[in-house]
Amino acid sequence: MQLFISVPRLRMAGLAVLLVLGWGVAPASAEESYGDLLSKGARFVKARNLPRALEAFGDAVRADPTGIDAYFNAGSVAERLKKCPETMMFFRGFLFLSPGTDDDRQAKAAVTACESKTGTGTLTLRSEPKGVEVALDRILQARTPVTKSKFPVGTYRMTVSCACPDFEDFAREVVITEGKDTEVDVALVRKLTFGFLQIETEPKDGVKVFLDDQSLGETPVEKQRLESRKHSVRLEKQGYEPWVRNVIVERDKVKIVQAALEPSVAPVDTGRQRPKGQE
């Protein structure tokens, strides 16, 4: 008796699909790109090997967490395999990334169906700043704030990221318990960023330079790599008035300080003699 397995419809938009004619599946390479893994999953679907197809599409999701086609394909294969936890996770990721497509209806229906079939708990996640991305086991799921969203029961590696150069990512283990709400509060740590400060003076040589009250020596001084924030600069030279300013060093930019020191003004002697007793 010949066994026929219906296969899910796949999304391969924007990908040159390199399907091998016949039923063979090429061996895996040491390092496979998103496109390689997407094509590999499609070949496994063609070969009716859906468990391996799910594995390949899942690897594609983790290779490129914004690859919308991999999310949909993984969700479709998981749905066909009746794996509700995977169906929920991958289709939630697809819906999070989807700009609004005809495939949304299938994904929403599959998530709703699985929520009634598998054990779920809820997650409430508040973050500072707001609007950052949340991934469970490297599968994008939502943007904060998250309020009592349903997830399959289990232990996950949760990553919170603003996907920007300003804040460090946050990661921790989170446990979703059936019928309970797991609450998490996260404050992302701002990254240290750097810029440069270049000091030019007139006179050019022999001016003492103090940066944040620390001596840098005398001019000329090398360009300084500094944390991007406000810094104080003080310049001193005998015979000249001190020069003091606050400067803002911006990330990845060079702040050029050009300082012309003014000669000190000597006290004026009028030549008039003071009366005796007032000297």
Asked if residue 132 and residue 95 are part of one domain, the reply reads no
Burial of 122 (0-12, 13-18, 19+ CB in 10 A): middle
Is residue 223 assigned to a domain?
Answer: yes
Asked if residue 44 and residue 91 are part of one domain, the reply reads yes
Q: How many domains does the chain have?
A: 3
Percentage above 70 pLDDT, the chain: 84
Asked if residue 107 and residue 36 are part of one domain, the reply reads yes
Q: Give the bridge partners for 246, in sequence order.
A: 232
- The widest CA-to-CA distance across the chain, in whole angstroms, is 131
Is residue 91 assigned to a domain?
Answer: yes
Asked if residue 199 and residue 222 are part of one domain, the reply reads yes
* Distances 15 to 44, 70, 97, 113 between C-alpha atoms, Å: 16, 11, 18, 30
Number of residues in the chain: 279
5 pLDDT higher than 80? no
Mean pLDDT over 11-40 rounds to 58
70 pLDDT higher than 80? yes
146 pLDDT higher than 50? yes
Cis peptide before 99 (omega within 30 of 0): no
Asked if residue 40 and residue 82 are part of one domain, the reply reads yes
DSSP state of 239: T
Cis peptide before 220 (omega within 30 of 0): yes
pLDDT of 230 reads 95
Asked if residue 256 and residue 225 are part of one domain, the reply reads yes
Which domain CATH number covers 163? 2.60.40.1120
Is residue 22 assigned to a domain?
Answer: no
- pLDDT-derived band at 99 (thresholds 50, 70, 90) equals confident
Asked if residue 92 and residue 77 are part of one domain, the reply reads yes
* Nearest alpha-carbon partner for 164 in 251, 268, 52: 251
Q: Which domain holds residue 85?
A: 8-13+32-117
Asked if residue 133 and residue 102 are part of one domain, the reply reads no
- Strand 181-187, strand 120-128: pairing: parallel
* Contacts of residue 122, Cβ cutoff 8 Å, sequence gap at least 6: 148, 149, 150, 151, 176, 180, 181, 182
Q: Are 10 and 68 within 8 A, CB to CB? A: no
28 pLDDT higher than 70? no
- pLDDT-derived band at 31 (thresholds 50, 70, 90) equals low
Asked if residue 123 and residue 113 are part of one domain, the reply reads no
Question: What residue type is 106 in one-letter code?
Answer: Q
pLDDT digits (tens, 9 = 90+) for 147-193: 999 999 999 999 999 988 889 999 999 999 999 999 999 999 998 89
Which domain CATH number covers 85? 1.25.40.10
Among 117, 138, 171, give the residue marking a domain's end: 117
17 pLDDT higher than 60? no
pLDDT of 19 reads 34
Burial of 45 (0-12, 13-18, 19+ CB in 10 A): buried
60 pLDDT higher than 90? yes
* Contacts of residue 56, Cβ cutoff 8 Å, sequence gap at least 6: 37, 38, 40, 41, 44
Asked if residue 101 and residue 169 are part of one domain, the reply reads no
pLDDT of 10 reads 72
21 pLDDT higher than 50? no
Is residue 25 assigned to a domain?
Answer: no
Mean pLDDT of the chain: 88
- 181-193 burial, b at 16+ Cβ within 10 Å, e below that, comes to ebebebebeeeee
Is residue 239 assigned to a domain?
Answer: yes
| Listed range (39-48, 136-145, 269-278) with the worst mean pLDDT | 269-278
Among 191, 221, 250, give the residue marking a domain's end: 191
Is residue 164 assigned to a domain?
Answer: yes
Asked if residue 98 and residue 129 are part of one domain, the reply reads no
Asked if residue 77 and residue 51 are part of one domain, the reply reads yes
Q: Can you tell me the distance from the alpha carbon of 170 to that of 186, in angstroms, rounded to the nearest whole number?
A: 8
pTM: 0.70
* Nearest alpha-carbon partner for 53 in 22, 72, 78, 28: 78
Mean pLDDT over 188-214 rounds to 95
* Contacts of residue 245, Cβ cutoff 8 Å, sequence gap at least 6: 232, 233, 257, 259
Is residue 275 assigned to a domain?
Answer: no
Which domain CATH number covers 245? 2.60.40.10
Is residue 273 assigned to a domain?
Answer: no
